[in-house]
Amino acid sequence: MLLTDKVVIVTGAGGGLGAGIARVCSREGAQVVVADIRGDAALAVAESLPGQSLGLACDVGDDDAQSRLVEQTVAHFGRIDGLVNNAGINFAKPFLDTTAAEWERIIRVDLRAVFFLSQKVCRRMLAQAQPGGSIVNISSVHSQAALPGAGPYDAAKAGVVGMGRSLAVELAPLGIRVNAISPGLLDTQIWQDIQNAAPSAEECLDYWKSNIPIGRVIGSEEIGELAAFLLSERSRSITGANIFADGGMTAQLISKEPYTSRPLEGK
């Protein structure tokens, strides 16, 4: 198993992507701390995991809550080997209507929290008898491409990648690696909401299939498998990377045509 006896914190793990990451880490042998602003959801996921686990309530946007998360993890498991910064807030609102309070809220949770929780965890990693560890930041395809109305979210997710590169370079000599994963459309509640909002779920599915070269949305545990690899010693030469797990979405130039063109032979 990739993560035998490693202690890994996964934020935003009370459901959706975070729960999928927690499940894979647990199956790979990790002792998993399931952290979520919804304490009851965190506890439920933790209790469902096959290995040793701990469910904790944590608002990652609160500095004191971050400190308690680190302290409770160490008190329970004795150390921290990995952190997955997954907690975040989605956002879609026209630029001209977005308020300063909304901007601050998204940046606080999706970017600032990643920086300062990582800082607290790294301090602990470096104070341990065997210093070092791995941090995986969950970014998004929005770190490279954009949609209208996603300004604060796009800024935060691009910031996570840029910040992670800086941390990776600074922390590499200390034995701590920092990488990012940029998922595409995931089979989580957001995907269900997208389908429910469309006039026809079938048309919605056909449209998104045309925008995803592999022709399907991505499962949360697929992202978990990649996160587990980046947390493990098998990825010990990888740091400062941003890996796109999007089924080819960002590699495709434009949406696929709803018709078949004849060949262009360059005449």
Domain boundaries, the chain: 7-188+219-248
* Residue numbers annotated as active site: 153
CATH number of 7-188+219-248: 3.40.50.720
Mean residue pLDDT of the chain comes to 94
**Contact indicator for 208, 217 with CB cutoff of 8 Å:** yes
Bigger pLDDT: 199 vs 50? 50
Q: Regarding beta strands 7-11 and 176-183, do their DSSP bridges make them parallel or antiparallel, or are they unpaired? A: unpaired
From CA 160, how far away is CA 135, in angstroms rounded? 12
Q: Write down the pLDDT at residue 167.
A: 98
pTM above 0.85, yes or no: yes
Strands (DSSP E) contained in the chain are 7-11, 31-36, 53-57, 82-85, 133-138, 176-183, 242-245
Q: Could you say which DSSP state residue 186 is in?
A: B
Q: Write down the pLDDT at residue 264.
A: 57
- pLDDT tens profile 55-102: 999 999 999 999 999 999 999 999 999 999 999 998 889 999 999 999
From CA 228, how far away is CA 222, in angstroms rounded? 10
